């Protein structure tokens, strides 16, 4: 009786696994390919976390699709940082803190616009290198926010460094992707 029950439970699971691997890898990058790619980046674990576990990677046909995912991950970091700005606004309500928050908010709006532009460019396979340039401009605005915390008064640690660091790492991944697209 237990053997029959196990067969009835494991068969659907086995079928599901077969379908997953059979149909998702037909057009998608293989998991081994993703790992090999991430080994070429500066931070393998970061790459696997932000690119390799993105559910869209299962549908990625080539490095153009991976580029779109990486730029999208940059936009997610900007969105999360903007939410963080709203959360910490009261903590930095003095004149210097309010000024820093004001400029960071403006810089993140500009960064978001550049990452949206980069996303559109990356979706069009012909503009991969241009997408990288737009993403770099977006990152530069995030860096300007970081610099605000070192100006006009007491130097403070930016409450947005985590997001800026993630985008810098994503840009290094984008650089590897662009190399693969160009010389692929």
- List the Cα angle 178/182/184 in 5-degree steps: 100
Q: What is the pLDDT of residue 32?
A: 74
CB 60 within 8 A of CB 73: no
pLDDT of residue 34: 86
Q: What is the pLDDT of residue 184?
A: 57
Q: Select from 167, 125, 126 the least CA-distant residue to 145.
A: 167
What are the domain boundaries of the chain? 29-183
**DSSP 8-state class, residue 61:** -
Q: How many CA atoms lie within 13 A of 150 on its CB side?
A: 6
Is 22 a residue whose pLDDT tops 80? Answer: no
Provide the token pair at 110: 């500009």
Q: Which residues contact 35 (CB under 8 A, 6 or more apart)?
A: 48, 52
162-175 pLDDT tens trace: 999 999 999 999 99
Give yes or no for residue 123 having a pLDDT over 70: yes
Backbone angles phi, psi at 68, to 5 degrees: -60, -40
Number of Cα atoms under 13 Å in the Cβ half of residue 172: 15
The pLDDT, as a whole number, for residue 15 is: 33
Q: Which CATH architecture has domain 29-183?
A: Up-down Bundle (1.20)
Query: Is pLDDT at 44 greater than 80 in this prediction?
Result: yes
Binning the chain into helix, strand and coil, the percentages to the nearest 5 are: 85, 0, 15
Mapped onto helix, strand or coil, the DSSP state of residue 171 is helix
Mean pLDDT along residues 21-33: 57
Q: Which two tokens stand for residue 77?
A: 């970091």
Give per-residue pLDDT as tens, 146-163: 999 999 889 999 999 999
Residue range 132-145: average pLDDT? 97
What is the C-alpha separation between 152 and 179, in angstroms, rounded? 40
What does the pLDDT look like over 87-111, one tens digit per residue? Answer: 999 999 899 999 999 999 999 999 9
Token pair 């068969």: residue: 11
Q: Does the structure show a pLDDT above 50 at 24?
A: no
């Amino acid at each position: 009786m237990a053997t029959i029950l196990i067969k009835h439970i494991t068969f659907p699971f086995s079928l599901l696994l077969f379908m997953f691997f059979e149909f998702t890898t037909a057009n998608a990058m293989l998991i081994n390919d993703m790992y090999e790619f991430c080994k070429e980046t500066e931070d393998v674990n970061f790459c696997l976390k932000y690119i390799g576990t993105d559910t869209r990677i299962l549908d990625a046909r080539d490095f153009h699709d991976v580029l779109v995912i990486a730029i999208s991950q940059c936009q997610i970091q900007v969105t999360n940082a903007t939410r963080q700005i709203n959360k910490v606004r009261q903590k930095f309500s003095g004149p210097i803190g309010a000024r820093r928050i004001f400029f960071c908010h403006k810089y993140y709006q500009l960064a978001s616009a550049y990452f949206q532009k980069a996303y559109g460019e990356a979706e069009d396979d012909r503009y991969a290198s241009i997408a990288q340039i737009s993403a770099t401009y977006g990152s530069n605005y995030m860096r300007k926010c970081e610099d605000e915390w070192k100006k006009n008064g007491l130097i403070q640690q930016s409450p947005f460094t985590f997001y800026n660091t993630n985008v810098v790492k994503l840009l290094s991944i984008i650089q590897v992707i662009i190399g693969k697209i160009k010389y692929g």
